[in-house]
């Protein structure tokens, strides 16, 4: 009798042990999936680095960064410089931000402070739909609508240039900027606004002098994320900027960005040549640029959450 009871106790204990084992099994299974994110990010960096390595053995970093011309298949010797591409990317991105930042913040302010709940309910899905339009379709619009329009305004033969790319990229980064800035503006404590209004400031004055400055760090983070998206965008610029590999001098020039260069050349290049590895080197630079922009945005956002 006694024996039986203790048997039962042992059995229960063992059972509990088993279920505890199973429980921690589940936990570690889910942990592994979480860790995968680190592995993928690390893997991207590692594979870009190892594939770019043979390139840097032949071409010095200085030459790579300071040479204007990228012409791996040139008759009089190849040249591997990314300066023109980097300047093109920065130019198109700058142009896009010039349009998207004021427009995006204005929309965010409108949605957060002025619009009725009903209006918001309708417009927010519309902005999501804008975000959902594939980049290749935006690029197509650049070719069929914006290109001819710009050509007529500028009096050029085609409108595939940096302005076109900037306009399209501003469309692509608007949803990010609007959505995140609206979150930042909405999370400004209502006491701030009430205090301002109670002191006799009107709503516009309150928005400009109180609410926007209070939400500024969140807005800056939103703009940085939108900028990261613009820097890394490929299809739109590939289709709409004309892809002239020269050093750009004005916004009416055709430009060829970092992303377009990879997209154009990776399809034609023989594998494991200097040129092939060079494309990974370009990719590495691009990866580091966007990584930096995202990291800064992240830091700003974290700091801002702590203040709250």
Instruction: Report in angstroms how near the CB of residue 21 gets to another protein at its nearest.
Output: 11
Q: How far is the CB of 282 from another protein (least distance, A)?
A: 9
To another protein, the closest distance from the beta carbon of 61 in angstroms equals 19
CB of 184 to another protein, least distance (A): 16
Q: Which is nearer to another protein, 53 or 249 (CB)?
A: 53
How many CB atoms are located within 10 Å of the residue 93 CB?
28
* Vertex 107: Cα angle to 186 and 206 (nearest 5): 55
* 274 neighbors 78 (Cβ within 8 angstroms): yes
> Of 97 and 109, which has the nearer Cβ to another protein?
109
- Closer to another protein at the Cβ: 66 or 303? 303
CB of 64 to another protein, least distance (A): 17
* Identity of the residue, 79 or 294, whose beta carbon is nearer to another protein in the bound complex: 294
Distance CA 258, CA 211 (A): 38
Closer to another protein by CB, 66 or 106: give it: 106
Closer of 13 and 129 to another protein (Cβ):
129
The DSSP-derived string for 84-146 is HHHHHHHHHHHHHHHHHHHHHHHHHHIIIIIS-HHHHHHHHHHHHHHHHS-HHHHHHHIIIII
Torsion region of 116: left, alpha or beta (phi above 0 gives left; psi -120 to 50 gives alpha) = beta
Return the half-sphere exposure (C-beta side, CA atoms, 13 A cut-off) of residue 66. Answer: 4
Write down the least CB distance from residue 33 to another protein, Å.
4
What's the length of the chain?
A: 308
Burial of 204 (0-12, 13-18, 19+ CB in 10 A): exposed
């Amino acid at each position: 009798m006694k024996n039986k009871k203790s048997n039962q106790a042992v059995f229960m204990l063992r059972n509990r042990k088993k279920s505890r084992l199973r429980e921690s099994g589940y936990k570690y299974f889910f942990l592994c999936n979480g860790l995968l994110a680190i592995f993928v990010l690390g893997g991207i960096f590692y594979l870009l680095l190892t594939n770019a390595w043979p390139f840097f053995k032949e071409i010095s970093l200085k030459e790579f960064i300071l040479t204007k011309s990228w012409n791996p298949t040139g008759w009089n010797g190849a040249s591997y410089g990314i300066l023109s591409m980097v300047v093109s990317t920065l130019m198109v991105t700058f142009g896009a931000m010039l349009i998207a930042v004021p427009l995006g913040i204005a929309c965010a302010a409108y949605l957060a402070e002025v619009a009725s709940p009903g209006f918001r309910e309708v417009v927010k899905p519309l902005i999501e739909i804008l975000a959902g339009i594939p980049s290749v379709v935006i690029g197509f619009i650049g070719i069929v609508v914006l290109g001819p329009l710009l050509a007529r305004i500028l009096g050029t033969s085609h409108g595939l240039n940096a302005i076109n790319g900037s306009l399209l990229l501003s469309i692509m980064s608007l949803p990010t900027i609007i959505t995140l800035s609206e979150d930042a503006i909405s999370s400004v404590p209502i006491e701030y606004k009430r205090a301002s209004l109670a002191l006799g400031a009107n709503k516009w004055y309150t928005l400009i002098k109180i609410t926007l400055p209070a939400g500024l760090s969140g807005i800056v983070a939103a703009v940085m994320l939108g900028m990261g998206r613009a820097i890394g965008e490929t299809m739109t610029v590939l289709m709409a900027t004309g892809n002239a590999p020269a050093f750009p001098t004005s916004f009416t020039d055709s430009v060829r960005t970092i992303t377009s260069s990879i997209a154009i050349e990776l399809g034609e290049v023989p594998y494991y040549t200097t040129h092939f590895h060079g494309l990974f080197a370009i990719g590495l630079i691009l990866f580091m640029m966007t990584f930096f922009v995202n990291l800064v945005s992240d830091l700003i956002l974290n700091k801002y959450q702590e203040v709250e």
